[in-house]
A and B are shown apart, each in its own frame.
Chain A
Amino acid sequence: MASLMIRRVRYVGENYVYTSPELKPGLNIIEGKNGSGKTTFSDLISFGLGIYVRQYDRKEREIHKEICGDKDNYVLLEISIDDSKYELKRHLNNNTIFVSDTIGNVESYAVYRSESNPVIFSDWLLSKLKIEVVEIYQGSRKFKINFPDLYRLIHYDQDSIPRKIYKEHRTDNSFIADSLQIRKVIFELLIGHQFSEYHALVGDLNKLERERDTAKSLFNNYIKMAGDMGYDLSKITMDTVNIDLSSSNLELDKLQIYREDRKKLKYNSTQLDRQLIQLRTEIVHIERDYSVCQRTRRNVIVEHKSLLDLKEDIIREVTHLKKIISAHEELNLFSPNTCPCCLKRVERKENHCICGSTIDESQYEKFFYSSEEYLDILKSKQKSVDTIDIGINSCEEEMNEIGRKSLKLELARDNIRAHLKEIEKDISIYSNDNEVNRLNDEILLQKSKIQKLDQQRIILIKYTSLEEQFTEKKEDYNDLFRRITKLESSLKTIIEKQLKLFNVIYNNLMTETADDINKAVIDENYMPIINDGEYKQASTNVPKRFMYYLTLLKMSIDSDIPYPRFLLIDTPENLGIDNENLDRCLQKIVSETRIDVQFQVILTTGINKYPQEFKGYVRETLTEEDRLLKNKKME
């Protein structure tokens, strides 16, 4: 990735000026006593890079008197990014930065993003540093990670609380900009490769999610609204509405044509009379048929009843026969040899009557029966029961048939009677107004039905389009969600690798700097944990933070990460780091770095508050007499 380097810092105003010596790759030390302008030096660099500097904000209470009191003043930074050189010029009280390259092209960029300034200086700088601008959605708000955010891990300042690691965020009520998520993203952006793409996708996903939710609520609200209006959208379909609509239109056309026809029709008495006569004749015919029907029915009922009676009689006779047979067997009183007068037993010659005359047995008029003959009679009676049953059944069928026929006749008669009544009513009005009025009513009804269907159709169209939109958004969202999930897992492995690397360097630096530290790692929020969290002495916070920055720098030198290989350190000894430790750390950085990779560390510090071997890196020495800002008038 790219390396950022400050080559020279200049300040020009009506009253004061300053021009730094040329700053070089590697370590640059600006030494000076307290109040001589060391912090002003780093503030000028920050300001020139488009960072908010509170001391230069006239609205603030503690302001930098000389600079804020100066007029027509600006900061000019000569920088290089990799091999390209640029000049950045920013006026005080002005949020525009002019960027000029070596060929003489000058472009101006706003420092802060607004609707009129969609592209700002940060975008330019990040593009040169090959860091993509990442958009992050939090809730409904959109947030872009800008260079000033990344700068929080590039500028080691004096004011921030060491425990918090990150440089204090400008307090402009933007809680989002300092949220844990954003801080994590800043860290990941600086150590990662592909994270920018990921966050861009997450941004897209959030956008899609909101769009999907909007589409969904729009869709649901529409269903509810339609429901309030009395349409159950789940039950009506476009097809049925269209069919209903076309059939209603057809019906309307028919009615209108028929009405026109009726209007033209004049009352015609002959025709009507003929019709009346015809109808009455029909009624007479029907009545006649009906009465024939009823008569037949009565006959059949009588027949049916007598058949039933007969059947009962025979059944009764059968039971009697059984008893007769039994009595015959038990008592054995009578036989053909019994005298019919006295009923006494007589001796009788064959083929002779009891009176003595010859007779054929079959010619007796009075019989006595044997058991066998009684049984024969019984059987024949039982048989006749079956025959009678057939008769009864056919009677019942006939009755049903007659019933159906008379019902039909009744219906036909009623119809004709109703028809006659209608016609008679029409005659009394003496015109066909009645029918035309009825038609008008029907037409009106049909029209309102069509109107309702039309409305239903419109609602349905809108419903379908909303549903489509919602489905589309949902699918888009799901597609992206899948892509992100896939990307996330691959990113996770990358970041784990990077974190491992970070931890190795950090642990190394920390354990070597302080004797009582044996383990230093960062947790899932990328905040340091020393000795597994047991060590709580406040002074550890200083190296903890300092080494964090150094680790990032070293990582950027050792491996290709987006961190711009630039570190601005403002007077670290003020924070209580003992010299020995600081020396050890700094030496570590300078000594162990590779010569082939360009990097820059600018360190402002007290006079001689650095290892003696670093004497050669001192670029400028500030004293009370020779302060940073030179007063033009005094000179």
Chain B
Amino acid sequence: MPNKQNLNVKKRIMFNKDEDYYFITYNILVFLDILGCVSEKSKFLDYTKLSYIIPFISNHLLLDLIVDFSQTNHLPNNEEIELLRETYYKSRLKLKLVTSILFTLERNEYIALQKNLTRNTIDIWIRKDKIPESFFNPSLYRIEIEHTKKLREVSPRIRTLTVNTLLDQLFGNKGVTVWQV
């Protein structure tokens, strides 16, 4: 019994929201749904962008920094730059995880992935008909929906732009050094 309890405590302590599969999953699904990437025509170019976008969709502090900057050209202070830098590194490290989650989703036919030879990227769209209807609960994902819309206002071409442009918009022009490999 104590063994079992210890296991529970350990699991609880080891829990990391940012790396939780479901956390990444629902953020990607909701984001793509609101953006309207539901078919090949309106596919989301280059899935790697998603790894960087998720923190902004789930945390209003980060999103507010971007929105503030676009509206007032107000540069973030050191603390905020530090926060952005941290976000960038973590997102970069999570990229692998996101990739494997996306493959799982594709195998479950919740999404479709497609190689883009011209841009040398993998593009993505969701297959709404395969996803249980009850999943998209607007009141549950109210914040994510709101944040997606805000982000689209700040960066209207977010669906098609390259990962480099996006990284510059989110981090580079705020003083965070971006090193894309």
Distance of A338 Cα from B7 Cα, bound (Å): 19
Asked whether B119 is an interface residue with its Cβ less than 8 Å from the other chain, the reply is no
Roughly how many angstroms separate A160 CA and B30 CA in the complex, as a whole number?
133
- Taking residues whose C-beta sits less than 8 angstroms from the other chain, chain B's interface range is 35 or more
CA distance A240 to B20 in the complex (A): 83
Would B104 and A343 count as touching, CB distance under 8 A? yes
- With A316-B59, A330-B132, A343-B103 known as contacts, the answer to whether A324 contacts B22 (CB < 8 A) is yes
Q: Which residues of chain B in 11-57 are interfacial with respect to chain A, using CB atoms and an 8 Å cutoff? A: 11-12, 14-15, 17, 20-23, 25-26, 29
Hey, what's the 0/1 contact readout for A156-196 against B, CB within 8 Å counting as 1? 00000000000000000000000000000000000000000
Residues in A with CB closer than 8 Å to B135 are: 326-327, 330-331
Indicate whether B180 reaches chain A with its CB closer than 8 angstroms.
no
With A316-B59, A333-B104, A333-B105 known as contacts, the answer to whether A326 contacts B26 (CB < 8 A) is: yes
Q: Please, what's the 1-or-0 string for B98-133, where 1 marks a CB less than 8 Å from any CB in chain A? A: 001101110110100000000000000000000110
Known contacts A343-B100, A362-B6; is-contact A331 B59 (Cβ 8 Å): no
CB atoms of A344 and B107 under 8 A apart: yes
B6 to chain A, nearest CB (A): 6
CA distance A437 to B14 in the complex (A): 81
List which A297-323 residues lie within 8 A (CB) of chain B: 316-317, 319-323
Within 8 A of B (CB), among A326-362: 326-328, 330-331, 333-334, 338, 341-344, 361-362
Segment of B69-77, B137-145, B148-156, B159-167 in the binding face: B137-145
Residue of B nearest to A317 (CB): B17
Which residues of B have CB within 8 Å of A341? 100
Q: How far is the CA of A325 from the CA of B23 in the complex (A)?
A: 9
CA separation between A321 and B104, bound complex, in Å?
A: 21
The answer, yes or no, to whether B91 is at the interface (CB within 8 Å) is: no
User: What is the interface residue range for chain A against chain B?
Assistant: 20 to 34
Residues of A near B131 (CB, < 8 A) are 331
The one of A324, A344, A373, A380 in contact with B23, judged by C-beta atoms closer than 8 angstroms, is A324
* Contact of A343 with B101 at beta-carbon distance under 8 Å, contacts A327-B25, A331-B132 already known: yes
Query: A334 and B107: CB pair below 8 A?
Result: no
Beta-carbon contact of A380 and B12 below 8 Å: yes
- The answer to whether A369 and B26 touch (CB under 8 A), given A316-B59, A334-B104, A343-B101, is no
Q: Which 6 residue pairs spanning A and B have beta carbons closest together?
A: A343-B104, A327-B26, A362-B7, A330-B135, A327-B22, A324-B22
Which residues does B use to contact A, with CB under 8 Å? 3, 6-8, 10-12, 14-15, 17, 20-23, 25-26, 29, 58-60, 100-101, 103-105, 107-108, 110, 131-132, 134-135, 137, 140-141, 143-144
Given A333-B22, A362-B10, A369-B20, 10 other A-B residues pairs in contact with their CB atoms under 8 A:
A316-B58, A321-B17, A327-B23, A327-B25, A331-B131, A341-B100, A343-B100, A343-B107, A369-B11, A380-B12
